[in-house]
Structure 1
Amino acid sequence: MLSLLEMSVAGAVMILAVMAVRIFAVKWLPKVTLRLLWMAVLCRLLMPLRVPSPTSIYAAAERFGRMAGKPGLLLEGRESVQAAAPNPGISPFILLWAAGTLLLAFYFVYCHMRSRRGYREALPLEHPFVKAWLERHRLRRPVRVRVSDQIGSPLTYGILWPVILLPKNLDWEDTRGLGFILAHETAHIRYFDALGKWLLAAGLCLHWFNPLVWVMYLLANRDLELSCDEAVVQEYGRDARASYALTLVGLEEHRTVLAPLESSFSRNDLTGRVTSILRSHQITAVSVGCALILVAVVAGAFATNPPGENEDPASLTGLQNAGTVQETDTSEMTTAVRAVEGADFLQDGDDISNWPESSQEQYEYVLESLFLDGYEELSIAEFNRKVNAALNAEHSGHLMELYEIVLNTLKESDPKAAFLRNTVGASMREYYARLEEVYSGSRTDPEFWGEAKAYHRNKVLGERMESGVLAQYCFTYRILDQDSLTVGERDRFLQAVMSAAQNTLEEQVEKSGGIEAFQQALKTAALQVSDGKIEFTGCQVEGVELLYDSE
């Protein structure tokens, strides 16, 4: 399951992709393409499900994630953190988000109810042309047409029992213009735009803190109108474009009051709509095929997740009964070994297949490139800058790939294991989290992976068995002052959280507690090690494996 922040960030990335499509391809694509793309964005924003796909753009980052996401090492002799601290309560950020969501939802509901009160006074319309037109354009849902003196332009509301509401001051003798209006409003009904507007409003209420979602709300509403305009032109032919545009302009001066959940004929960027109408092209089988391919590509790339992502095992009832076993991807080692082919220290004619998976020379090369004397006293800002500059330098001899090779075969007993796995790994994720935050404009906290093991003894069929669980977890944290926080202080914070995870897992195994209890206890304990320089921001259990040993 995706968190709200993950949904919002992924949705923001997809919104940028749809905006790019809108800018570069809107002139020749059928406008219904934009409708489908915005609906895909809404699914990304409203559905917390992970949809695995090899075409996901996030799959490109998966290899780095696997490399940098090796579980951190819990060092011996570290002072443990007790999990008996009181519950810190609800985060103020959650309260702020909930307040914004409720206020915005109240606004939408208030506007809708205020509009519907006025619509109740509308009268059924008895007009021969309107009746005949609706007979020729029957829909599966019954459509009612009413007339009101409280609106200035036509609009549509209702999902299951849709209503076309026409203003009383229409020119009822202009049957051609009246046909345009009915065709436009019927298109809204056919496409279920009333439901679409409710979903757009729901997305905005949930993600009001994301500025790109506000952009999506405005553009999507505009594109719904463009799609219906296109439907009118397709029905009446390209020769009717000028007449339809004049009808649109004539109704603009009678603009309707704000009704964000209804579809109004003359609202939403008149100039852009008229321009789109006059430039509209005939929809062909080729354009439809291209549109479907584009929708499939964008949705497959931006609305999905990399295959093989771990799901949250919160549905398991207890840690002792957990049966999820995480599989190891053996292909990543092979990929990393092949990548070393371009390293600087390889001599011409060397056969890469003869090299061991991790040689002493590789190990020394990586350590010499990354280790800094007195690194524990350096600030996080300075250390992260230097380490990531070395890893990404063009002359470094594929240092990133070599680091992955060494990391995959590094023994925990190695004296530099904690530096390479914990210190360097955390700095890499902090650096890239900072870059993502700068470019996306959304808060991005670095992640750190860990493992905790807990055993207890049982007698099974007369034989003593030692059983337990291996819990793999991921926690996030926020560096509040990267210029004063030292690397040593950051590493001690990571050790304290991992120690808290170990302690809380042992307690939950003794209590036969579940994963949710372990996760909550870890949060409570880890929050106690936060200070003015670094703070714990959340955690999630990523996988659980049963462990058995017989005596």
Structure 2
Amino acid sequence: MNFVYMSISAAFMILAIIGLRKLLINKVPHLVFEFLWILVLVRLYIPYDFATDHNFYNLLYGIRGKLAETDIFNIDFKNYYIDRTFVEFVTMSSFKYLFTLVWIVVGLMVFSYFWHDYISAKKIWKNAVPATATEQVQNLLQKKGLNNKFDVRESKEISMPMAYGVLHPTIILPAGFDTNKTIVFEAVILHEYMHLKYHHPFLQHIIVLILCVNWFNPLIWMIYRYIGRDMEISCDMHVLDQIGSNNRESYALSLLEMASNKGKDMTFYNGFTKHLVRERTVAIMKYKKTSIKAAIFSVLLPVVVFLLFGTSDNYVFGDEIEAGEMEVVIVEAPELPNYREIFVPFSELEPYLVKNDAQTIDELKLNEFKTLIPLEEGLTEELHVNTEVAMYQYSGTLQLVDADLEKENFVSYYSGSLYRK
């Protein structure tokens, strides 16, 4: 499993998840979409090779094969495949060296951008002091039966509450944060708590590292965009689980009030961002307890997505064999005749006639005549064909040029000429 293939597979998964998100948003728990994004990260960085017969990639190869067989787009069935050209290109030494150089240089530039953001975020955390509302926060979490192990600080450098930290998870409140507005206060604290409970800061760090490595894949940047949305909405849904659906309107108003504050969005903080307020408000107002039907569907959806897009195709590239990624085992074939004789009605031969080449009534040229041969009979190099055309008998020997293995037969292709007796 090579790096480029893993990145391409992840790109297809991203497109599929974005499509599902458009169709199913507010119909299934947003936690499902977070889990689907994690599956993309698994596909990106865990080099497993779990091949199946039925997945999206085999479907693409099947369609490609049918197009080549029917020659709709003038693709030669035997010699030319788009994927072969692509593989040969990306395995060229000059391409590898150039790509590696550009990959490292741009990757370091992307990393430096996020590193500056990381240093700024850590500076805010270091300069923050224990919050005066710490006791109120702890009492709220205790009342809701939630773990109150997280630190609570306040800072003059921010205008909105934020969740920060992997090793030292912390809720940071702006200095002078009004705790008298009970509804707003509870909404803010519970929202930031959910970010820490579900390890969103850690996930953000992972995504940033992935962007630094896979910066060349534009669809990887879509993860950065969408996973932030789904983390925020997921936290909103968890808060509503705590305060009840009857408080949807007040929670939505709290969201609007906090989002109206002017503040800089930072990569390594989670908070009440002013962006995506409309999407989050709609999700809040449509909130309802997950039904059994939706719960079952939510479990099955990631499984289906993984089987379709997270598994590998069973198509073997030549370079995989050359690189030693695939083991070739040569098994001695049983003794079989090297020819097979059949009589074929002319109607079955006519689609394979080479009509553009020079030919006389004495000769019929055939190109890649397709026939099925049972597995037990084995492949034959030569096919002796007899047919009848307009009361004349034709016969000749065709040579094997290609073959595909199906469950019970060889799909064999023969080319050659038949001559009138």
Common topology (TM > 0.5): yes
Counterpart residue number, 1:31: 30
Counterpart residue number, 1:456: none
Counterpart residue number, 1:325: 329
**1:144 Cα deviation after fit:** 0.6
Q: Which one of the candidate residues 237, 248, 256 is aligned to 2:244?
A: 237
Q: Which one of the candidate residues 264, 269, 289 is aligned to 2:271?
A: 264
Question: Do residues 142 (structure 1) and 149 (structure 2) align?
Answer: yes
Native 8 Å contact 2:162 2:270 kept in 1? yes
**1:410 Cα deviation after fit:** 6.2
Closer/same/farther in 2, CA of residues 306 and 242 from structure 1, 3 Å limit = same
Native 8 Å contact 1:154 1:264 kept in 2? yes
C-alpha separation in 2, matches of 1:4 and 1:224: 28
Counterpart residue number, 1:411: 381
Native 8 Å contact 2:237 2:284 kept in 1? yes
C-alpha separation in 2, matches of 1:265 and 1:357: 75
Closer/same/farther in 2, CA of residues 357 and 209 from structure 1, 3 Å limit = farther
Larger Rg: 2
**1:152 Cα deviation after fit:** 1.2
C-alpha separation in 1, matches of 2:116 and 2:12: 31
Native 8 Å contact 1:111 1:258 kept in 2? no
**1:150 Cα deviation after fit:** 0.5
Q: Which amino acid aligns with 1:32?
A: L
C-alpha separation in 2, matches of 1:92 and 1:181: 49
Q: Which amino acid aligns with 1:16?
A: L
Q: Which one of the candidate residues 108, 114, 122 is aligned to 1:116?
A: 122
Closer/same/farther in 2, CA of residues 274 and 88 from structure 1, 3 Å limit = closer
SS class of match (1:147): strand
C-alpha separation in 2, matches of 1:269 and 1:358: 71
C-alpha separation in 1, matches of 2:330 and 2:191: 54
Q: Which one of the candidate residues 151, 155, 177 is aligned to 1:170?
A: 177
C-alpha separation in 1, matches of 2:354 and 2:209: 48
SS class of match (2:163): strand
Deviations 1:453-473 (A, max 9, x none): xxxxxxxxxxxxxxxxxxxxx
Counterpart residue number, 1:56: 55
Counterpart residue number, 1:8: 7
Q: Which amino acid aligns with 1:133?
A: L
Deviations 1:150-193 (A, max 9, x none): 11111111123211111114211112211111111111112111
Closer/same/farther in 2, CA of residues 303 and 268 from structure 1, 3 Å limit = farther
C-alpha separation in 2, matches of 1:412 and 1:91: 46
Closer/same/farther in 2, CA of residues 64 and 89 from structure 1, 3 Å limit = closer
Question: Do residues 98 (structure 1) and 104 (structure 2) align?
Answer: yes
Closer/same/farther in 2, CA of residues 403 and 223 from structure 1, 3 Å limit = farther
C-alpha separation in 2, matches of 1:91 and 1:23: 39
Structure 2: segments with no counterpart, 5+ residues: 69-77, 80-92, 333-338, 359-366, 385-396, 405-421
C-alpha separation in 2, matches of 1:289 and 1:367: 50
**1:49 Cα deviation after fit:** 2.2
Counterpart residue number, 1:253: 260
- The 5 Å alignment of 1:324-363 reads 325=329, 361=344
Native 8 Å contact 1:358 1:405 kept in 2? no
| Percentage identity across paired residues of the two chains | 24
Question: Do residues 161 (structure 1) and 155 (structure 2) align?
Answer: no
Question: Do residues 208 (structure 1) and 215 (structure 2) align?
Answer: yes
C-alpha separation in 1, matches of 2:382 and 2:321: 28
SS class of match (1:164): strand
SS class of match (2:127): coil
Closer/same/farther in 2, CA of residues 284 and 5 from structure 1, 3 Å limit = same
Question: Do residues 287 (structure 1) and 294 (structure 2) align?
Answer: yes
SS class of match (1:156): strand
SS class of match (1:91): helix
**1:138 Cα deviation after fit:** 6.5
**1:292 Cα deviation after fit:** 0.8
Please identify, of 280-289 and 13-22, the stretch whose mean Cα deviation from structure 2 is larger.
280-289
The structure in which a higher percent of residues are strand is 2
Closer/same/farther in 2, CA of residues 417 and 158 from structure 1, 3 Å limit = farther
Question: Do residues 296 (structure 1) and 303 (structure 2) align?
Answer: yes
Deviations 1:346-404 (A, max 9, x none): xxxxxxxxxx9995859994994579659xxxxxxxxxxxxxxxx9xxxxxxx89x378
**1:240 Cα deviation after fit:** 1.0
Q: Which amino acid aligns with 1:181?
A: V
**1:250 Cα deviation after fit:** 1.0
Q: Which amino acid aligns with 1:18?
A: I
Q: Which amino acid aligns with 1:221?
A: G
Closer/same/farther in 2, CA of residues 169 and 66 from structure 1, 3 Å limit = same
C-alpha separation in 2, matches of 1:40 and 1:300: 11
Deviations 1:425-446 (A, max 9, x none): 9xxxxxxxxxxxxxxxxxxxxx
C-alpha separation in 1, matches of 2:98 and 2:343: 50
Counterpart residue number, 1:532: none
**1:97 Cα deviation after fit:** 2.0
Native 8 Å contact 1:33 1:295 kept in 2? yes
Q: Which amino acid aligns with 2:300?
A: I
Q: How many residues align?
A: 351
Closer/same/farther in 2, CA of residues 188 and 93 from structure 1, 3 Å limit = same
Native 8 Å contact 2:117 2:266 kept in 1? yes
**1:40 Cα deviation after fit:** 1.1
Q: Which amino acid aligns with 1:101?
A: G
**1:206 Cα deviation after fit:** 2.3
Please identify, of 108-117 and 131-140, the stretch whose mean Cα deviation from structure 2 is larger.
131-140
Q: Which amino acid aligns with 1:147?
A: E
SS class of match (1:151): coil
**1:54 Cα deviation after fit:** 4.6
C-alpha separation in 2, matches of 1:295 and 1:94: 33
Q: Which amino acid aligns with 2:101?
A: L
C-alpha separation in 1, matches of 2:122 and 2:372: 62
Native 8 Å contact 2:152 2:170 kept in 1? yes
C-alpha separation in 2, matches of 1:371 and 1:92: 47
Counterpart residue number, 2:42: 43
SS class of match (2:43): helix
Q: Which amino acid aligns with 1:112?
A: Y
C-alpha separation in 2, matches of 1:290 and 1:326: 46
